[in-house]
Amino acid sequence: MSISRQKALQDVLERTPRTVERPDNKISNYFGENVFNLTMMREYLTDEACDSIVDAMENHTSISRAIADQVASAMKEWAISRGATHYTHWFQPLTGATAEKHDSFISPTSDGRVIEKFDGSLLVQQEPDASSFPNGGIRNTFEARGYTLWDPTSPAFVWENTLCIPTIFISYTGFALDNKTPLLKALAKVDEAATSVCQYFDKNITKVVATLGWEQEYFLVDKALHAARPDLQLTGRALFGAAPAKGQQLDDHYFGSIPARASAYMKEFELECHKLGIPVTTRHNEVAPNQFECAPVFEEANLANDHNLLLMEVMEQVARKHNFRVLLHEKPYPGLNGSGKHNNWSLGTNTGVNLLKPGNNPKTNLRFLTFFVNTLAALHKRADVIRAAIASVGNDHRLGANEAPPAIISAFIGSQLSSLLDELETSIKAGKLTPEDKTALKLEIGRIPEVLLDNTDRNRTSPFAFTGNKFELRAVGSTANCAVPMTVLNTIVAEQLNEFKSAVDARIEGGDKKDDAILKELQKLIAESKSIRFEGNGYSNDWVKEAKKRGLSNLRTTPEALAVFSRKEVVSLFEDLGVLRKEELAARVEVELENYIMKRQIEYRVLLGMCKNSVLPAAIRYQSGLLTNVEQLSTVLGKQATKFSGAQIDMIKQAGQLIQDLHAATSDMEAIHDKAEAAKDALASAKAFAEKVVPSMDAAAEICAKLESLVDDAEWPLPKFSELLFTR
Ligand code: ADP
Ligand code: MG
């Protein structure tokens, strides 16, 4: 239900910050108290059961039925002690959000009572009615069986009186219907590939985990104002609005003091996060007014991703208690900075080494260079797949819009590492390396730590930036499930590392010393992947031209980007590594395209409705008021009236013109939309939405914004940007 703008503004004036008390000012005293983590397991389980779980977590071994029963029973006892009455398998269907079906623990007894029951079979596997989840034709809907299977690598937790068990979601025939399954496979592949390359440097390295630290951007808006805007309610973004007199131009919001109500909100959702074991640590204002960011300490990628998905849920729930709504959309307000979710990524070893952190001697630096250069080479070879992985309806409004990295994928590594790579490219000679060559190279490579200390020239315009000890994939959208880009990034790095390993081994077999073989192979990769490195301004038009010359893609819209997943060599990439089968990939494209079309359709319908039911009537009322005034002037003043009604007549004409324009624009929009809807297949339809419908909607939105600036403020029915952004 919509409420009136006046009522909403009145409501906001009466708000006060909600008081939030921490149970204890030592976070460590309650951190993870709602998680069935290893410490809890040790308390509730036998050593044998604990060891089996740890083994499953570390080595992906299976858990026996007897142990599963034991774990389930312990989990239930623990969960009940934390207030849980229900349990759910918590999974990540292709819609991008998380899904859950709650069942209570109760089981009836013969004498009419109930007891709490939960056994291993319920823990390990569940059969939700999967027919209503998008599956892209993998499973006919009459064959509604899909299974959720326990992922013991991510601990169960209690949220809102429910025990949530992280699971994967697969079809009866074994196809992945979710985003977690391929992520787990990609992580296993990168572990295998990286561990094997690490053997060149350190035999003690037996496991490599991908790490992820996300940075979640979001907007807050008062719930009453939100309720007065159908577009925010139904599409998550404002479809039009006049630019506020004060926007983000003063840059006074960024890192400024956090407004009191927002601060109370943050404290409460951070508290809930900490209880859930999500290590959120950083909070600050973002570029736009009422825009903020939250970031955790990084974790293993699968867990970090579960934590991000859970965080988004917690943020939404807690926001309501504070009379806020949280906007996670990539572009809630046209004309203002949008929201992203930077994915900081690296590889860590069982020996505690970050493989993207330079060491303090030539040997560890050669290891660093190996992983650094291979990552660049992977990006160079598979840039389009990364682009496809970050494609979403909301992200289309950010990429290339001079605020987020462009749709062109490139890497920023800083001027000093660039010059080092340039030197290595030319100084490693073909043939045998002489001792002098090697000394010179060692000197060069030994300089890396020192180089990095000075590497402060951060480039915010790059989609993939090296930031000292990790790469930061900055093009991910704020609503995204990081599993998708993380699956792709880890898969392409695994592919590259495998190729590297074979190439180096071949050189060694051909008589090269190990270090020479590595150096020569790195040199080759440095040379080959050069075009992906870009240190300049990613927002500039010159870069678009330059990238084109370099042969880099510029896939501007989601439908164009998604088509990448259907390319033969991309299908092979995922199939060869066993991350996604052909059918699974095809299903993903289908689901994503449908998702794109449906979201655009909803936006179109909402905009059309707002134009017809809110904006045009308001404009006409305004014009009628002016007309009445002119009439009254003429009644009272007779001929003299013309002296005093010129301005009104001007305004009547201006409004009249805009009313005609908007009416025409909505008719155009309708015709264009109907054509897009009738396109021959999903890809053609999605492309028509992206290329034709969206511009027609923008044209109508522009006229709405002009009317907003013209019409009597008292008549305007929708909260304005200035109110949405500055009313706190
Ligand atoms: P920024 O200056 O980019 O805004 P933030 O402090 O907001 O930096 O976020 C940086 C993120 O990178 C944090 O989540 C941090 O934990 C993460 N990070 C740091 N080191 C690593 C690593 N080795 N692997 C993955 N993420 C990391
Ligand atoms: Mg940050």
Reduce the secondary structure of 136-147 to three states and give it as a string. CCCCCCCCCEEE
Q: Say which residue, 461 or 692, is predicted with more confidence.
A: 692
**Class for domain 187-574, per CATH?**
alpha beta
Average pLDDT, the chain: 91
User: Considering Cα of 378, then 384, then 386, then 387, what sign does the dihedral take?
Assistant: positive
Helix/strand/coil for 275: helix
Residue 145: its pLDDT value, please?
Answer: 63
Nearest one of 201, 245, 724, 85 to 497, comparing CA atoms: 201
- The verdict on the CB of residue 459 being under 6 Å from ligand 1 is no
Residue nearest to atom 14 of ligand 1 (CA): 213
Assess whether pLDDT exceeds 60 at residue 457.
no
Distance in angstroms (rounded) separating the CA atoms of residues 601 and 605: 6
Residues near 69 by beta carbon (within 8 Å), at least 6 away in sequence: 119, 120
Query: Nearest bound ligand to CA 299?
Result: 1
Tokens of 338: 């949008």
User: Considering Cα of 704, then 705, then 710, then 716, what sign does the dihedral take?
Assistant: positive
- The verdict on the CB of residue 296 being under 6 Å from ligand 1 is yes
Q: What is the pTM of this model?
A: 0.95
Residue 440: its pLDDT value, please?
Answer: 74
- The verdict on the CB of residue 443 being under 6 Å from ligand 1 is no
Please give the distance, rounded to the nearest whole angstrom, from the Cα atom of residue 290 to the centre of ligand 2: 16
Residue 143: its pLDDT value, please?
Answer: 47
Instruction: For residue 438, give the H/E element and its range.
Output: helix 435-446
Distance in angstroms (rounded) separating the CA atoms of residues 187 and 196: 14
Q: What percent of the chain has a predicted confidence (pLDDT) above 70?
A: 93
Question: In which band, very low, low, confident or very high, does the pLDDT at 726 lie, cut at 50, 70 and 90?
Answer: confident
> How, if at all, do strands 299-300 and 471-473 pair?
unpaired
Work out the widest C-alpha separation in the chain, in whole angstroms.
106
User: Which ligand 1 atom is nearest residue 295's CA?
Assistant: 14
Residue 427: its pLDDT value, please?
Answer: 79
Buried b or exposed e, range 378-417, using 16+ CB within 10 angstroms: bbbbbbbbbbbbbbbbbbbbbbbbebbbbbbbbbbbbebb
User: Considering Cα of 367, then 373, then 375, then 377, what sign does the dihedral take?
Assistant: negative
Q: Say which residue, 537 or 130, is predicted with more confidence.
A: 537
Rounded to whole angstroms, what are the CA distances from 287 to 49, 347, 400, 456, 549? 49, 30, 17, 21, 33
Half-sphere exposure (Cβ direction) of 416: Cα atoms closer than 13 Å = 17
User: Which ligand 1 atom is nearest residue 357's CA?
Assistant: 23
Nearest one of 267, 297, 265 to 22, comparing CA atoms: 267
Please give the distance, rounded to the nearest whole angstrom, from the Cα atom of residue 469 to the centre of ligand 1: 9
User: Which ligand 1 atom is nearest residue 354's CA?
Assistant: 23
- The verdict on the CB of residue 354 being under 6 Å from ligand 1 is yes
Q: Say which residue, 22 or 328, is predicted with more confidence.
A: 328
Assess whether pLDDT exceeds 90 at residue 123.
no
Angle between helices 582-610 and 568-576 (to 10 degrees): 120
The answer to whether the beta carbons of residues 712 and 622 sit under 8 Å apart is yes
Query: Nearest bound ligand to CA 214?
Result: 1
Query: Nearest bound ligand to CA 343?
Result: 1
Please give the distance, rounded to the nearest whole angstrom, from the Cα atom of residue 538 to the centre of ligand 1: 22
Q: Say which residue, 133 or 353, is predicted with more confidence.
A: 353
Residue 641, number of CB atoms within 10 A of its CB: 16
Give the mean pLDDT of 151-163. 94
CB-neighbour burial class of residue 258 (10 A; exposed 0-12, middle 13-18, buried 19+): middle
Please give the distance, rounded to the nearest whole angstrom, from the Cα atom of residue 457 to the centre of ligand 2: 16
Residue nearest to atom 19 of ligand 1 (CA): 298
Residue 288: its pLDDT value, please?
Answer: 85
**Mutational pocket test of ligand 1: of 215, 281, 292, 302, the residue with most ligand atoms within 8 Å of the beta carbon:** 215
Residue 320: its pLDDT value, please?
Answer: 97
Question: In which band, very low, low, confident or very high, does the pLDDT at 147 lie, cut at 50, 70 and 90?
Answer: confident
Query: Nearest bound ligand to CA 467?
Result: 1
Helix/strand/coil for 173: coil
Please give the distance, rounded to the nearest whole angstrom, from the Cα atom of residue 295 to the centre of ligand 2: 7
> How, if at all, do strands 86-91 and 99-104 pair?
antiparallel
> How, if at all, do strands 146-150 and 162-171 pair?
antiparallel
For the chain, the domains span 31-178, 187-574, 594-726
**Mutational pocket test of ligand 1: of 209, 284, 298, the residue with most ligand atoms within 8 Å of the beta carbon:** 298
Give the mean pLDDT of 453-458. 56
Please give the distance, rounded to the nearest whole angstrom, from the Cα atom of residue 216 to the centre of ligand 1: 11
Residue 705, number of CB atoms within 10 A of its CB: 18
Assess whether pLDDT exceeds 70 at residue 454.
no
Please give the distance, rounded to the nearest whole angstrom, from the Cα atom of residue 250 to the centre of ligand 1: 27
Domain 31-178 part of CATH 3.40.228.10 = no
Strand partners, 293: 217, 284
The answer to whether the beta carbons of residues 559 and 684 sit under 8 Å apart is no
Question: In which band, very low, low, confident or very high, does the pLDDT at 431 lie, cut at 50, 70 and 90?
Answer: low
- Region at 174 (left for phi over 0; alpha for psi -120 to 50; beta for the rest): left
Strand partners, 296: 280
Tokens of 653: 């004409």
Give the mean pLDDT of 175-195. 95
Query: Nearest bound ligand to CA 281?
Result: 1
Q: What is the separation of C-alpha 579 from the centre of its chain, rounded to a whole number of angstroms?
A: 20
Tokens of 390: 């970050």
Residue 144: its pLDDT value, please?
Answer: 47
Please give the distance, rounded to the nearest whole angstrom, from the Cα atom of residue 345 to the centre of ligand 1: 8
Nearest one of 368, 288, 378 to 333, comparing CA atoms: 288
Query: Nearest bound ligand to CA 348?
Result: 1
Look at the block and give the residue holding tokens 């792709």.
488
Query: Nearest bound ligand to CA 466?
Result: 1
User: Considering Cα of 187, then 311, then 262, then 19, what sign does the dihedral take?
Assistant: negative
Least confident of 166-175, 250-259, 264-273: 250-259
DSSP state of 178: B
User: Which ligand 1 atom is nearest residue 342's CA?
Assistant: 3
Tokens of 40: 């809890």
Q: What percent of the chain has a predicted confidence (pLDDT) above 90?
A: 73
User: Which ligand 1 atom is nearest residue 344's CA?
Assistant: 26
**Mutational pocket test of ligand 1: of 212, 287, 344, 368, the residue with most ligand atoms within 8 Å of the beta carbon:** 344
Look at the block and give the residue holding tokens 């209570």.
104
Give the mean pLDDT of 447-474. 78
- Amino acid residing at 118: F
Helix/strand/coil for 510: coil
Residue nearest to atom 26 of ligand 1 (CA): 213
E-strand ranges in 74-201 read: 86-91, 99-104, 106-108, 114-116, 125-126, 146-150, 157-159, 162-171
Distance in angstroms (rounded) separating the CA atoms of residues 687 and 391: 13
Length of the chain: 728
Distance in angstroms (rounded) separating the CA atoms of residues 704 and 697: 11
Distance in angstroms (rounded) separating the CA atoms of residues 219 and 128: 34
Residue 450: its pLDDT value, please?
Answer: 64
- The verdict on the CB of residue 308 being under 6 Å from ligand 1 is no
Residue 507: its pLDDT value, please?
Answer: 96
Strand partners, 283: 294
Residue 426: its pLDDT value, please?
Answer: 86
Please give the distance, rounded to the nearest whole angstrom, from the Cα atom of residue 294 to the centre of ligand 2: 7
Q: Say which residue, 644 or 143, is predicted with more confidence.
A: 644
Residue 490: its pLDDT value, please?
Answer: 98
Please give the distance, rounded to the nearest whole angstrom, from the Cα atom of residue 283 to the centre of ligand 2: 8
Question: In which band, very low, low, confident or very high, does the pLDDT at 418 lie, cut at 50, 70 and 90?
Answer: very high
Question: In which band, very low, low, confident or very high, does the pLDDT at 459 lie, cut at 50, 70 and 90?
Answer: confident
- The verdict on the CB of residue 357 being under 6 Å from ligand 1 is no
The answer to whether the beta carbons of residues 566 and 572 sit under 8 Å apart is no
Distance in angstroms (rounded) separating the CA atoms of residues 368 and 420: 13
The answer to whether the beta carbons of residues 407 and 400 sit under 8 Å apart is yes
- Which CATH number describes the domain made up of 594-726? 1.20.120.1560
Rounded to whole angstroms, what are the CA distances from 546 to 378, 482, 532, 556? 21, 30, 11, 16
**Mutational pocket test of ligand 1: of 470, 473, 482, 490, the residue with most ligand atoms within 8 Å of the beta carbon:** 470
